[in-house]
Every structure is written in structure tokens, then in C-alpha cells.
């Protein structure tokens, strides 16, 4: 089955042919580890986990290398360390563990390689030295900067001219720069900051050079897929291309894949708006499969609107799907040859998870009518996507437990229903009552008060 992936660089959907089918290589930008990951960070984890599963299925897991880096030296990390009065290594190791827990929670497979930036400083210095020798970089006041005007393809990934990129982005203003858009490869370290010896004095790397060094070490100078969030297109990925291709005179990545932005209830997520949600916060309310399934309902390149209603609907669907598996009188075995070809065809078309899930709904209907063959295909297809991976009893007992403690959600919905009733929006009030009923909550309106109990 031919895979078609959308390539941001060429702005087209293209047939995917690896450079070497016996060594398929993918690099995805991972977390900057200074705090808990937010729900938007979960999207690339899930999206590229599905791509990884697809590559493993077609080429064999032994022929696929998936690298997802960890940025453990960065201005935000230093700021958090100072704010918490905590050693940087203690902060980053704890936060790495947080991230691993979160990735496991949403059902993501572990990458083949997960390099840390601080373990690859010599590789970064080596690339910077090459760039200086080739006149693509220059030293100024202990800083080393990449000269963007030496790379004539700068802006091709984001599709903008250099002038537009400068005007539309925040560039660091510094009198030692030859061009305002020149970006940092190496910077001096202050006394209280982490630093490494280099030809330009004690310092630390810029963000962009980290990924160029780590991807080259584990995947080579040219590899198949580079992925990440849409917010990384510029400047991070644009700068990676400039420095890597200038250094090696080779194409950096054959495909650039970017997932779209995530909003919360139609608004941009931010701490100032009070709608900042970490993955860790969701663990007391939903199983990770609910988060994963909810992400897959929107195509990865499209904006995703994260709502409480969509989470509840996703939970309801998985409850129903688990029930058909749990009530079947024989154990179902995992078999890769029983994955739905229609579902795989949907995924092969640029990871079309909404269409893939639509195929699962159709399979469920047939299986629910007693077709055992359809049930086995349904089960194995779900497992391929990383859902229905628990046993029915564990799923059911966990859901009952969370319902008992989720009083904030229940009371919040009751408050919204009361507001709708006051505004005489009775259809909305009825919808919320039905939503609560689906959650197993029974309402009673008496003496201008609303009380609730579980079924």
C-alpha cells in the first residue's frame, strides 16, 4: 500500500518512498523540559506515534529508526531553575520523567532513540566550526551567528521572503549582528548558567543547532521525515535547514510534516486566560485512550478545538467499543494480518485518522450484529491505532472510579444548565441534562435547587 504524506516544504501531498527501505528514518522535535507538558504538546506525540506505527507495519520495526530529542538546555529551563531555586539537572530529570509518564498515558510507543541536547555538545561545536570555515557563520563578542544571506533557500519551508519573516517574527536585536535575521549558534554563558568550553569561550548552544547535531548523529545528513508542530516551521525548522544544508551541501529531510494548532473551547490556550491544561491534569478524569481518540477525530494538519464535550463524546464511544470486546465469550488475539485494509487505506492518505475512525464505526456496527470475523478485525484495527489496549474489567472499573470523584465536572455542567434555564434556552438545558445522564448522573429539580446522584 502506497503512503501519501503532505510535505510542508513543497506544499504538496507526495508519495512516500524512503531513501533506504531497510533503514527508514524519522526525527521529531521533542519537549523542552522545564515543566509539565500541556495538552497541545500531546498532539505531535500522538500524531507521529501513528506515523511510526505505519512505518513499522510497512517496512518492519527492525528497519525503522524514530528519533525524538529532549531539549535540556534552554533559556526557559534556566529561568525555571532560578525561579524554583533548583539545580538544573534535578529540574530537567524530573521533568523528563513527567514527559515519559505523559507519553505513556496517551499510548505512545517509545522512540528508538531519545537523545538529550547536553549529551551532544561536541557534535554541535563540530557543525558550527564547519559553518564558520565555509563562511556561513561568524563570531561576534563571544557569540557565533548564522549568516542567513549566505543561504539562498532561506524561507522556502515557510514560504515567505526574508523580509516578511523578519517583519512577522520576533528577532533578537543585537548590535553585533550583521543582519537582524541572523540567528544564534553559540552564546556566552553567564556565571550562573550552564556552559561548556568551546573555541569561542565558555558558552552554550542555540536552540536550532541542537536538532541539526542530534538528527545527523543518529539518522545521517539526509533522512526521510522531519516532524513537529506547525509553530516550529519558523524559525526553528527553517533554521535547521539553513545550518544543516549549508554545512553538508545536502538536502536535510525529504519530508516535512507539521501538525496543526490546538485551541481550548475555541480560544488560544494561555495561562492568562485560565485555560491552560496540562496532560497530567487530565489523568484524574480520563483514561489516556480518551485523550488519544479525541485527538484522532481531527486530521493532524487541521486546527483542533479541544472541548469538554468532545472528550465526553470520545469517552462514550470507547465505553461502547470496550463493551462489545468485554462481553465476547472468547479471548481476542492481536494479529497484524487482521487490520482493516479500508482503515489502513485511510491512514495511507496522509494519516487521515478521521476517515480511519469512520471505518472503525462501520466495523463496529457489523461486529455488533454478531459477525465474529468483523469483531476480530475491529479489535486489531483499534489496537493498531493504540486504543482498546486495556482489558474490559480494568477499563470499566477505572471509569466507575473516575465518575465517583469527578464532582467538579458534574457541578460545572449543572451550573451551565441552570444558566441556560434562566435564559430560557430550554433546548440547551435539555442537552446538558442528557449529557449528564449519559455520564450516569440523574438530576432532580426541587425548590429552585438542582441535586444529583449517580445511577
Ordered by start, the domain boundaries in the chain are 4-262, 285-400, 406-454
The CA distance from 73 to 35, in Å, is 13
The CA distance from 370 to 360, in Å, is 16
pLDDT at residue 192, rounded to an integer: 86
CB of 35 closer than 8 Å to CB of 99: no
pTM of the model: 0.87
CB burial class (10 A; 0-12, 13-18, 19+) of residue 455? exposed
CB of 433 closer than 8 Å to CB of 443: yes
pLDDT at residue 429, rounded to an integer: 86
pLDDT at residue 171, rounded to an integer: 59
CATH superfamily entry for domain 4-262: HUPs (3.40.50.620)
Produce one character per residue of 59-68: b if its CB has 16 or more CB atoms within 10 Å, e if not. Answer: beeebbbbbb
Residue among 72, 66, 75, 78 at smallest CA distance from 99: 72
pLDDT at residue 75, rounded to an integer: 93
pLDDT at residue 173, rounded to an integer: 65
For residues 427-451, give the mean pLDDT: 80
pLDDT exceeds cutoff 60 at 403? no
The CA distance from 359 to 342, in Å, is 7
More confident residue, 448 or 139: 139
More confident residue, 84 or 334: 84
Amino acid at each position: 500500500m502506497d503512503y501519501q504524506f503532505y510535505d510542508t516544504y513543497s506544499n504538496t501531498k507526495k508519495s512516500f518512498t524512503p531513501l533506504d527501505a531497510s533503514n527508514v528514518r524519522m526525527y521529531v522535535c521533542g519537549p523542552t523540559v522545564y515543566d509539565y507538558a500541556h495538552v497541545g504538546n500531546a498532539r505531535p506525540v500522538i500524531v507521529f506515534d501513528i506515523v511510526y506505527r505505519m512505518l513499522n507495519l510497512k517496512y518492519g520495526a527492525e528497519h525503522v529508526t524514530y528519533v525524538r530529542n529532549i531539549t535540556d538546555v534552554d533559556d526557559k529551563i534556566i529561568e525555571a531553575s532560578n525561579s524554583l531555586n533548583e539545580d538544573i539537572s534535578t529540574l530537567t530529570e524530573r521533568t523528563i520523567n513527567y514527559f515519559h509518564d505523559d507519553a505513556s498515558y496517551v499510548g505512545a510507543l517509545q522512540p528508538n532513540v531519545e537523545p538529550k541536547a547536553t549529551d551532544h555538545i561536541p557534535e554541535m561545536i563540530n557543525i558550527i566550526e564547519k559553518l564558520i570555515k565555509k563562511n556561513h557563520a561568524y563570531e561576534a563578542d563571544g557569540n557565533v551567528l548564522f549568516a542567513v544571506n549566505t543561504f539562498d533557500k532561506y524561507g522556502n519551508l515557510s514560504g515567505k521572503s526574508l523580509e516578511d519573516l523578519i517583519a512577522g517574527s520576533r528577532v533578537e536585536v543585537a548590535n553585533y549582528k550583521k543582519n537582524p535575521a541572523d540567528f544564534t549558534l553559540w552564546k556566552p554563558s553567564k556565571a550562573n548558567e550552564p556552559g561548556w568550553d568551546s573555541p569561542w569561550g565558555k558558552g552554550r548552544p542555540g536552540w536550532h543547532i541542537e536538532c541539526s547535531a542530534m538528527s545527523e548523529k543518529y539518522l545521517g545528513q539526509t533522512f526521510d521525515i522531519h516532524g513537529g508542530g506547525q509553530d516550529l516551521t519558523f524559525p526553528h525548522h527553517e533554521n535547521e535547514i539553513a545550518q544543516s544544508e549549508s554545512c553538508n551541501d545536502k538536502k536535510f529531510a525529504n519530508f516535512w510534516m507539521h501538525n496543526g494548532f490546538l485551541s481550548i473551547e475555541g480560544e488560544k490556550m494561555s495561562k492568562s486566560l485560565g485555560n491552560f491544561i496540562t496532560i497530567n491534569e487530565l489523568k484524574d478524569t480520563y483514561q489516556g485512550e480518551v485523550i488519544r481518540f479525541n485527538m484522532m477525530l481531527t486530521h493532524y494538519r487541521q486546527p483542533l478545538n479541544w472541548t469538554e464535550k468532545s472528550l465526553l463524546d470520545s469517552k462514550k464511544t470507547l465505553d461502547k467499543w470496550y463493551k462489545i470486546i468485554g462481553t465476547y465469550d472468547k479471548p481476542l488475539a492481536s494479529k497484524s494480518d487482521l487490520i482493516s485494509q479500508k482503515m489502513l487505506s485511510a491512514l495511507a492518505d496522509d494519516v487521515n485518522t478521521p476517515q480511519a475512525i469512520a471505518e472503525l464505526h462501520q466495523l463496529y456496527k457489523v461486529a455488533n450484529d454478531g459477525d465474529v470475523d468483523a469483531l476480530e478485525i475491529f479489535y486489531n484495527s483499534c489496537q493498531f491505532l493504540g486504543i482498546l489496549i486495556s482489558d474490559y474489567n480494568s477499563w470499566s472499573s477505572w471509569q466507575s472510579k473516575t465518575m465517583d470523584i469527578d464532582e467538579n465536572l458534574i457541578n460545572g455542567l449543572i451550573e451551565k444548565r441552570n444558566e441556560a434555564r434562566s435564559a430560557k434556552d430550554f433546548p440547551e438545558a435539555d442537552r446538558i441534562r442528557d449529557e449528564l445522564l449519559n455520564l450516569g448522573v440523574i438530576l432532580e429539580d426541587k425548590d429552585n435547587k438542582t441535586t444529583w446522584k449517580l445511577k
